[in-house]
Chain A
């Protein structure tokens, strides 16, 4: 766009002139410029200047022969030289002054009129008045008459600040009006012959239409301007076939140049009017109508240059106006007849096309230059002193004839020479790169990546041809990535060809080899190959070319041959070439290594199979000299030698630390897996993963290929789209689907037995011993370490100190107390390095060195506080081989479930003495807090029976049972008596119960009395067999049982029945009821006696008696038994009136056995004694 003159690029601005009174010009012209639309002002200080200005231009316009279409300077003349209106400024002093001044004014006016009349320029009179001036109408009238202007075009201009604004406003309006009139009149004058169609030539029609349009533009009548520009454009197109004024080349040149200008005007007007679709359509028609006007072959480059310029200019127009456009997607896409596509609204497309045409121009120019040099080698200087002539699109020779300059027409040949000489001066490549970069940038911003890539590719190609390989490579790399990703093989081939050449030129051997290998491995088949001469430096994409590249590269890497023109590199023999192929490398198709372990888990030290499969997609087969397989455990690395190329003996000595295998052949045939299966053995447990496979070819060339698992192997890029036979990397198809490049190496099988000796239930409270025996079978044990864990069976977790109640014993229901070493081993004999760590549920103990066949044992002491089952985990870790710290550890685990049970169940109950009942008020009227306790009468004897039941499965031996009082202060509150401490050998078989009787006499009235603890000492009863291994025999176990608290109160009345222990049928006996009042008060007691069928009795049945304080009342009854056997005595019931408590002795107490006759044996005494003793206790 910049090549157009300024007057074309911007819309024309009206021009007026001011003459005289130069001191006012600044004010007025500033005001005019700020008007909307603005007016340019020519400020002429003196009247003579104007005539000079107009005179010169009028002289040149006199030669009106049709030598061209548009004059170059016509537009600029109208914009800068020929004013539409001339404003003549006169001072009022001069107008109204003395006659001499008036004469001067008149002569000035006359001169002015003479100058402007031929051009129909409008005249405006301005009289500059001062504040104090008196205006005389006569003089003004005279002035107006003299100037021959209408009265409204004579204005008074008052520069006084109070009047200035007003004056300027009026001035502006009048000038604008007159200017519009001028341009309209001029337009009409020129339009007339067009409308009458009496123009002699198309030249004139184009010129007149153009002028009308320009005048319309001056008036800002865009519609008319557009119409006449289009008319001019169409008329011009007709000239192509008809005009004969100039030689053909120059004629076409002129028409094209004018058309370009007209088109520019039209496009600008359309785009400024917001008519985007019309503009694009118009541009398309413009290109279509001139596309075939290529001209003679030798100047065809002018055509391309012109076309390129059209695209460029339109792109720039679109670019500059696109700020006001909405997004393209909202635009309707043309009509059905003329569909427009998205990119036609984007400047990027036009920039790209401009660049493409410029490329065409360059190639045809090169052709033209070579032809012209071949045929016209004598440069006679005919291209010199050629300049643009006064007409647009014409060139002429400037001849100097003395002081004068003359224009001479050129012949076509002369012009051609000139044009070629001009064309040679420009570097099109930079222009092309700039255009493409712009386009690329725009496409990238729009996220149109393929178009953008094409631009990048074209830029790269330009850089390549310029020899800027660094830039070119960078661009090509990006493009190649896209093509790789989308699998456009032929396009990729072309880019890679360029990349290969770039690296060759730069001397980058590694990249050269990489690109060459990638090209050789591209899936170019015979079907899709392109045989074309217009291909990049990589040659045509064909199978033969792949073969050629392959051969070239392998000749290079094997050191047999140097490639042609790989400049600036040292010989390969000096430095090695190492290629890395990872999982995303495009070189995967060159060499793909798939590694599969046959087993997912292998034993350490046990050999297993590994299959190594290699695949190459190169066009020819290649021979590998040596393969090195690398693992994460580097001891496993091994090398496979090609037996053909390198016999085993010739292996270099430094490789001897690795295993070396030999394979009969390591030839890689295209698209065929090379499968190699070898043994693999690892000594170290953990993950064993194959990392990479390094193939060595020739003395200096290695390819390091990352190993891949067949199960998770991606398809080869590009090749995956090919319709080819797919083979499995391993012979076994299952392994191809599931094979992994990594395997898990298990630790070796332990050759040590760990035995946990105990089984049976453990008893709560005892130190339960679990013997652990470690016996080595085949391993010596170094650095052995045994861990012991106690775990709740229900998964309650370890009984670790971290539990919620760390300080409570309750959180450790089961506790590991200690570890007892083997017999004879003392703690002090252990070395300081021996570890022994015991916590409640966790233990760690070190195991001494054990040779094969030796054994070691210890005992774990575990104490149960609560009956519950636990799991005992014992794990032994040791290293079988040496004392090394990092040596492989072998672990043996053992678990044992041990039940914990209560050994004895202790219970107790209280009994009152036989046939003696105390009235306990709390029993009758339960009070809430004392109800849960057993109530005992104060100072009365109570019998306490404590029974211990063996609820375990083993026989127990009871050692002693006693009631211990833990607090001295309470001791006096009650007295307790019991039998001897020693129980002798009281042996309890499972389920058996042992009872012991105590008597308790409370001494203190207390609502809550602690009775103390029952202490039962027992141990496992070891019968005939010695089970000393299980428990510590000599240690007795103390089981404690807390006796419940009791409620002690004074009973107001004690009732005891007195009757013989037995009776004889028909034999009367006395049965008396003793009522003892223990209070200090008189007690009124009602009693009643129920009759019994078995007895006949004498005595009162019911009565009320008064019992004196601290005394006893006895009721006597004489009864005769009527039936034998265990008989119920007549039951007495008492009611204490004071306490309103009814009281009846228990039925058991009022039972007596009746013999049918007097027994003969003398047992009565014994029975009496026994009964007596119980009661007495």
Chain B
């Protein structure tokens, strides 16, 4: 289950962060997302390590925690997407698929002429779409 998704802007500031958990650990999730930016920085700054994944937007597993897995994604405009999930065995394909759909939703949201680039995304439509994508995570792979 996905517990948190986040969009992080150029100055590593959160543009959108939403947790999908009933437990009281939203703050912890914020910490996790924030810390995972270190890994994103590290991977972006040392692309050598990524080897075959050069020029790829999907950054893979970022951050080990015992209960969560954190995945990252970097758009062409250097906006970062972070995904925190509690599923301990996640297929890369699922995550990639999720990020692709999430990216599409993000692009639609920021294409809104009333949206100012670099500001937080407050669109309700975007939030609804994200929660749909989150809910369907993993289902498509099962089928």
Q: Which residues on A are within 8 Å of B, measured CB to CB?
A: 287, 291, 329, 333, 336, 339-344, 349, 353, 448-451, 454, 485-491, 494, 525, 527-528, 530, 532-535, 720-723
Cβ–Cβ < 8 Å partners of B13 in chain A: 486-488, 721
- Closest 7 A-B residue pairs measured CB to CB? A487-B13, A532-B24, A530-B26, A486-B12, A534-B24, A723-B119, A450-B38
Given known pairs A336-B92, A353-B66, A535-B27, the reply for A721 and B118 (CB within 8 Å) is: yes
Q: Is the CB of A487 within 8 A of B14?
A: yes
8 Å CB interface, B66-122 against A: 66, 92, 115-116, 118-122
Chain B 4-28, CB-CB to A under 8 Å as 1, else 0, gives 0000010111110100000011111
Q: Is the CB of B27 within 8 A of A534?
A: yes
Cβ–Cβ < 8 Å partners of B25 in chain A: 532, 534
> B53: nearest residue on chain A (CB-CB)?
A333
Cβ–Cβ < 8 Å partners of A487 in chain B: 11-14
Q: Is the CB of B39 within 8 A of A343?
A: yes
Cβ–Cβ < 8 Å partners of A333 in chain B: 49, 60
Q: Is the interface of B mostly helix, strand, loop or mixed?
A: mixed
Cβ–Cβ < 8 Å partners of A525 in chain B: 122
Q: Is the CB of B63 within 8 A of A341?
A: yes
Tell me the bound Cα distance from A343 to B35 in angstroms.
Answer: 11
Tell me the bound Cα distance from A491 to B42 in angstroms.
Answer: 22
Cβ–Cβ < 8 Å partners of A449 in chain B: 38
CB distance from A893 to the nearest CB of B (A): 52
B38 in complex: contacting residue of A451, A720, A721, CB < 8 Å: A451
CB distance from A496 to the nearest CB of B (A): 13
Tell me the bound Cα distance from A462 to B121 in angstroms.
Answer: 35
CB distance from A990 to the nearest CB of B (A): 78
* 19 A-B pairs whose Cβ atoms sit less than 8 Å apart in the complex: A287-B66, A341-B62, A343-B39, A343-B63, A450-B34, A451-B35, A454-B31, A485-B11, A486-B12, A487-B12, A487-B13, A489-B14, A525-B122, A530-B27, A530-B30, A532-B25, A534-B27, A723-B119, A723-B120
Tell me the bound Cα distance from A491 to B62 in angstroms.
Answer: 20
Q: Is the CB of A488 within 8 A of B30?
A: yes
Q: Is the CB of A490 within 8 A of B64?
A: no
**B1 on the interface (CB 8 Å rule)?**
no
**B44 on the interface (CB 8 Å rule)?**
no
Q: Is the CB of A454 within 8 A of B35?
A: yes
Cβ–Cβ < 8 Å partners of B133 in chain A: none
B14 in complex: contacting residue of A287, A336, A339, A488, CB < 8 Å: A488
Tell me the bound Cα distance from A291 to B60 in angstroms.
Answer: 25
Tell me the bound Cα distance from A340 to B64 in angstroms.
Answer: 8
CB distance from B17 to the nearest CB of A (A): 7
CB distance from A714 to the nearest CB of B (A): 13
Chain B 29-57, CB-CB to A under 8 Å as 1, else 0, gives 01100110111001000101100000000
CB distance from B111 to the nearest CB of A (A): 15
Tell me the bound Cα distance from A329 to B28 in angstroms.
Answer: 28
Tell me the bound Cα distance from A339 to B53 in angstroms.
Answer: 14
CB distance from B101 to the nearest CB of A (A): 22
Cβ–Cβ < 8 Å partners of B115 in chain A: 723
8 Å CB interface, B110-139 against A: 115-116, 118-122
Q: Is the CB of A454 within 8 A of B34?
A: yes
- Contacts A343-B39, A721-B13 aside, 5 further interface pairs with beta carbons under 8 A come to A291-B66, A487-B14, A489-B14, A491-B34, A721-B14
Tell me the bound Cα distance from A444 to B35 in angstroms.
Answer: 13
Q: Is the CB of A721 within 8 A of B27?
A: no
Q: Is the CB of A349 within 8 A of B64?
A: yes
Q: Is the CB of A490 within 8 A of B30?
A: yes
> A452: nearest residue on chain B (CB-CB)?
B38
Q: Is the CB of A721 within 8 A of B15?
A: yes
Q: Is the CB of B34 within 8 A of A488?
A: yes
Tell me the bound Cα distance from A341 to B61 in angstroms.
Answer: 7
Tell me the bound Cα distance from A449 to B39 in angstroms.
Answer: 11
Cβ–Cβ < 8 Å partners of B122 in chain A: 525, 527, 723
CB distance from A1011 to the nearest CB of B (A): 90
Q: Is the CB of A721 within 8 A of B120?
A: yes
Cβ–Cβ < 8 Å partners of B12 in chain A: 486-487
Q: Is the CB of A532 within 8 A of B26?
A: yes
CB distance from B90 to the nearest CB of A (A): 10
Tell me the bound Cα distance from A933 to B31 in angstroms.
Answer: 103
CB distance from A359 to the nearest CB of B (A): 12
Tell me the bound Cα distance from A1049 to B8 in angstroms.
Answer: 106
Tell me the bound Cα distance from A449 to B35 in angstroms.
Answer: 9
> A339: nearest residue on chain B (CB-CB)?
B61
Cβ–Cβ < 8 Å partners of A720 in chain B: 118-119
Cβ–Cβ < 8 Å partners of A329 in chain B: 46, 48-49
Tell me the bound Cα distance from A948 to B12 in angstroms.
Answer: 90
Cβ–Cβ < 8 Å partners of A339 in chain B: 60-61
Given known pairs A329-B48, A450-B38, A723-B122, the reply for A343 and B27 (CB within 8 Å) is: no
Cβ–Cβ < 8 Å partners of A336 in chain B: 92
Q: Is the CB of A721 within 8 A of B30?
A: no
Tell me the bound Cα distance from A448 to B46 in angstroms.
Answer: 14
Q: Which of B28, B35, B37 has the most chain A CB within a 10 Å cutoff? A: B35
Tell me the bound Cα distance from A449 to B12 in angstroms.
Answer: 12
Q: Which of B24, B92, B115 has the most chain A CB within a 10 Å cutoff? A: B24
> A536: nearest residue on chain B (CB-CB)?
B27
Q: Is the CB of A491 within 8 A of B30?
A: yes
Q: Is the CB of B27 within 8 A of A532?
A: yes
Q: Is the CB of B11 within 8 A of A486?
A: yes
> B13: nearest residue on chain A (CB-CB)?
A487
CB distance from B59 to the nearest CB of A (A): 10
Cβ–Cβ < 8 Å partners of B62 in chain A: 341
Cβ–Cβ < 8 Å partners of A343 in chain B: 39, 63-64
Q: Is the CB of A342 within 8 A of B27?
A: no
Cβ–Cβ < 8 Å partners of B48 in chain A: 329
Tell me the bound Cα distance from A490 to B122 in angstroms.
Answer: 16
> B39: nearest residue on chain A (CB-CB)?
A342
Cβ–Cβ < 8 Å partners of A491 in chain B: 27, 30-31, 34
